[in-house]
Structure 1
Amino acid sequence: MDTPYERKVAGHVVVAPDKFKGSVSAADAASAIARGLRTAAPNLTVVEFPIADGGEGTVEMMIRQGYTAVTCAVIGPLQQTIPATYALRGGTAVIEMASAAGLAHLGTPEPTSTTARTASTRGVGQLMRHALDRGAQRIVLGVGGSATTDGGAGALTALGARILDSCGDPLYPCGQDLADAAVLDIDSLDPRLRDTEVVVACDVDNPLTGPRGAAAVYGPQKGADSNTVTRLEHALGQWADVVGATVDRDLRHLPGAGAAGGLAFAMAAVLGAQLTSGIDLLLKLTSFTDIVDGAACVIVGEGSLDAQSLRGKGPVGVARAARHIGAPAVAVAGRCMVTDADARTAGFDAVYALTDLESDERRSMAHAKALLEQIGSIIARDRLSHPPTHQHDRAGAAPAVAHRP
């Protein structure tokens, strides 16, 4: 007779984690979990489908699903020339704004108040124009991981717009200089944009300005001290006034307008872009429901499963998509910071945390691949080789999240 681990499981398993930030990439996390599953259940069919939700890894996700990688030189956030890659298939281009204006391109160990004031999204606009040159008629812009708080001014100038001060002189499109903005001239915007669908994939609902706005909430993460946050808030308010006067609508309070330091605001207000859930859009573009159809289980994951995760980030979006077609979802996290009830509401049948196997967080991060592989084996044992007989599951230890009937 076959052992429980050797019995053929009905249906395949989809392993669809996001990155474990500061530890392993989404692809490495998927491979480690899959190795554990196959070790414990050799007959199991495992599909690795690492994900992203608009931030780092978005372009890589699309390339793995058949998009072509396109690389070009752009101006980075601090005016340096850098290579940036986007994904293209047919008339759809998927651009990861962080590849042109992300924190990794600051050239400093940590962001500073100076970089927070002067970083620009010019390179993002250059990527968009390059995609138009390659025939793109739809541009999907993932906006996670930005180093900028320029309200999208840099991207607009790269697309042909001009920003002028009260004397009619052009301004450099960075956060601090927007305080002097008086006129936005969009007469020379690339005319191809009129026939181009622009979609912003974001996972936040922050407005451009105010206590929940781009400067107040995300400025400190980009190096801004309290004085710089105040200056950037004032500059973004002035920018919103100027843009509103030009396009005859004020979108500073639009949910999501504060994404990527206000890049989403400029795309929506000036280009008419649609702001939508990053993970939902990317799953649609990659036909994820076809991959999950008939699956015995979907395993999601990220470094920290917390309150921010529950607001629609990658793993929750995947769990929602899986539940919609009847596949149970299990979460793997570096650490779990949510209650059992919240995890169930988010669609997780169980949560397995690396910290249940290694309580020291630094060691857990350092040995994440090995721990993920171990958890893959535990999941195969607990949930795939035989029906669960317990009411709750937590990786190898205490109960966490109730199994959904």
Structure 2
Amino acid sequence: MRIVISPGAFNRTSRSLCAADSLARDWASVQPLDEPPVAPTFTSSILDVVARTVPGATFHDVPGVSGPDGRPVTGRWLALPDGSAVVDLAQVVGLSLMLEPDALGASTRGLGQVIASALDAGATSLTIALSGSASTDGGAGALSALGLRLLDETGEPLVDGGGALARLVFADMTDLRPAPLGGVTLLLDVDNPLLGLHGAANALSPRTGASPADAARLEYGLSRFAGVLGGTPDAPGAGAGGGAAYGFMVAWQARTFPGPAYVARLVDPTSAHHRPGRRTSVAGALVAA
């Protein structure tokens, strides 16, 4: 018999991959003739899953990047033998890294810093897993770390956090680092749009501790962000990663791919493939609300 062991996330108590390994050992002890492949869900550490299933994959640590609340953490990305890199938002901006909830102030800046490290090392393409974000900033922090300038009406840069987007007036893309030539693929766990009742702020930010008032402010900020950047905020999945999917879809023409299908394909290469989502258009170098 072939058994698939795929536990969900265990928050701060146990990593999903460790739980899966433990269950596999226990199963083998009572059913030694069965084949129990370990297939953690997409919400577990995607870096560990890829490292386990892709021969020659190597980890690269990035000390001192910004965690979701601004405290320094050690980021990590995975280099694959084909020259591509895999980055996991949750590893550096995950909810488990917050000492206490801060739905308005949490930022994805650390994600951008880890991505910059992979690009500096020569990554030819990127796969970015967007799950478990503590931040609802539309990817503004990550893109700012990559050179995007977000300005208020006086021309001053915004502070980090989704709450600050309510003051956004200009976005200057002049110094934004280009995407790698091989492109960017976003692994998504939800298909929510950026805005509206089912968007990142109203439907997803309560997981980060957002109150109804916080969600309303985040929704307004994300709507300003979308008004400035353009693109397609109602695209399925644009709200993933606290809206970070939208930011990368617009700024880097990133494609989307279902995270669970990606994990399934790694564990079983014969599983059905899914085509990446359509590319979106890039906003201009300087746009205003």
Q: What is the CA-CA distance between 1:97 and the residue it aligns to?
A: 0.3
CA-to-aligned-CA distance 1:202-240 (integer Å, 9 cap, x gap)? 121111110001010111111111111111111111111
Q: Do the aligned partners of 1:19 and 1:27 also contact (CA within 8 Å) in 2?
A: no
Inter-partner Cα distance in structure 1 for 2:51 and 2:38: 12
Matches within 5 A, 1:95-244: 95-108=87-100, 111=101, 115-191=102-178, 193=179, 195-244=181-230
Q: Do the aligned partners of 1:31 and 1:48 also contact (CA within 8 Å) in 2?
A: no
1:19 paired residue number: 8
Inter-partner Cα distance in structure 2 for 1:93 and 1:278: 16
1:34 paired residue number: 24
Q: What is the CA-CA distance between 1:271 and the residue it aligns to?
A: 0.6
2:259 paired residue number: 278
- Which of 76, 81, 89 is 2:72 aligned to? 81
CA 1:232/1:288 → structure 2, altered by over 3 Å: closer, same or farther?
same
Normalization by structure 1: what TM-score? 0.62
RMSD (Å), alpha carbons? 2.1
2:281 paired residue number: none
Inter-partner Cα distance in structure 1 for 2:4 and 2:194: 35
Inter-partner Cα distance in structure 1 for 2:92 and 2:6: 24
Q: Do the aligned partners of 1:59 and 1:95 also contact (CA within 8 Å) in 2?
A: yes
Inter-partner Cα distance in structure 1 for 2:159 and 2:14: 37
Larger radius of gyration: 1
Normalization by structure 2: what TM-score? 0.86
Q: Do the aligned partners of 1:163 and 1:173 also contact (CA within 8 Å) in 2?
A: no
Listed as ranges, the gaps of 5+ residues in structure 1 are 1-8, 245-249, 291-320, 326-405
Inter-partner Cα distance in structure 2 for 1:179 and 1:205: 24
Inter-partner Cα distance in structure 2 for 1:205 and 1:106: 25
CA 1:169/1:38 → structure 2, altered by over 3 Å: closer, same or farther?
closer
Tell me which amino acid in the other structure corresponds to 2:224: Q
Inter-partner Cα distance in structure 1 for 2:127 and 2:200: 21
**SS of match in other structure, 1:125:** helix
- Which of 233, 245, 250 is 1:269 aligned to? 250
Q: What is the CA-CA distance between 1:150 and the residue it aligns to?
A: 0.6
Q: What is the CA-CA distance between 1:175 and the residue it aligns to?
A: 0.8
Tell me which amino acid in the other structure corresponds to 1:99: Q
Q: What is the CA-CA distance between 1:75 and the residue it aligns to?
A: 0.9
Inter-partner Cα distance in structure 1 for 2:17 and 2:205: 30
State the number of aligned residues: 268
CA 1:84/1:281 → structure 2, altered by over 3 Å: closer, same or farther?
same
Q: Do the aligned partners of 1:86 and 1:96 also contact (CA within 8 Å) in 2?
A: yes
CA 1:220/1:37 → structure 2, altered by over 3 Å: closer, same or farther?
closer
Listed as ranges, the gaps of 5+ residues in structure 2 are 274-289
Q: What is the CA-CA distance between 1:37 and the residue it aligns to?
A: 3.5
Inter-partner Cα distance in structure 2 for 1:56 and 1:280: 14
**Structure with greater proportional helix content:** 1
CA 1:41/1:226 → structure 2, altered by over 3 Å: closer, same or farther?
closer
Amino-acid identity (%): 33
